[in-house]
């Protein structure tokens, strides 16, 4: 029992010291690299960082398009939930899936252009 107590104390004293070796040093900010690729149809450099490479006008246009898509999706969701007729409900679900497919295809074309 006495040995177990000594071992436990030793482990508790050594553990915090051993975990210090895993501390991460803060990195200095580096200068951003120049982009070498551009997004099709956008005429701007694409850095793989979302909207950071866009102008304010391009960001606003992109956000408006996303908002419009979201509103259409929510509108269809509300219609689906409110619909009592199962045939009409399935038609609305199909319409929503088509909208989802079109949006996904658009995003894939932008983010993963054919090479």
Name the percent of the chain lying above pLDDT 90.
42
Is residue 73 assigned to a domain?
Answer: yes
Is residue 27 assigned to a domain?
Answer: no
Q: 97 pLDDT exceeds 50? A: yes
CA distance linking residue 7 with residue 10, whole number of Å: 5
* Consecutive H or E run containing 96: helix 86-111
Query: In the prediction, which pLDDT does 17 show?
Result: 58
Is residue 107 assigned to a domain?
Answer: yes
| Per-residue pLDDT reduced to its tens digit, 41-50 | 445 444 455 6
Q: 63 pLDDT exceeds 80? A: yes
For residue 38, report the phi and psi dihedrals to the nearest 5 degrees: -130, 155
Is residue 61 assigned to a domain?
Answer: yes
Q: 28 pLDDT exceeds 80? A: no
Is residue 115 assigned to a domain?
Answer: yes
For residue 113, report the phi and psi dihedrals to the nearest 5 degrees: -65, 150
75-81 long-range contacts, Cβ below 8 Å, gap at least 24? Answer: none
- Counting the structural domains of the chain, the total is 1
Is residue 77 assigned to a domain?
Answer: yes
Query: In the prediction, which pLDDT does 94 show?
Result: 95
Q: 35 pLDDT exceeds 90? A: no
| Short-list 99, 108, 109, CA closest to 71 | 99
What domain range includes position 71?
55-115
Is residue 62 assigned to a domain?
Answer: yes
Is residue 87 assigned to a domain?
Answer: yes
């Amino acid at each position: 029992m006495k040995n177990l107590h000594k071992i436990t104390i030793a482990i508790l004293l050594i553990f915090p010291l051993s975990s210090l070796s895993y501390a991460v040093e803060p990195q200095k900010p580096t200068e951003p690299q120049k982009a070498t690729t551009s997004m099709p149809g956008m005429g701007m450099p694409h850095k793989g960082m979302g909207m950071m490479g866009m102008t304010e006008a391009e960001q606003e246009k992109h956000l408006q398009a996303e908002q419009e898509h979201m509103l259409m999706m929510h509108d269809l969701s509300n219609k689906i939930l409110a619909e009592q007729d199962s045939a009409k409900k399935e038609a609305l679900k199909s319409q929503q899936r088509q909208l989802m497919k079109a949006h996904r295809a658009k995003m894939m074309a932008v983010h993963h252009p054919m090479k």
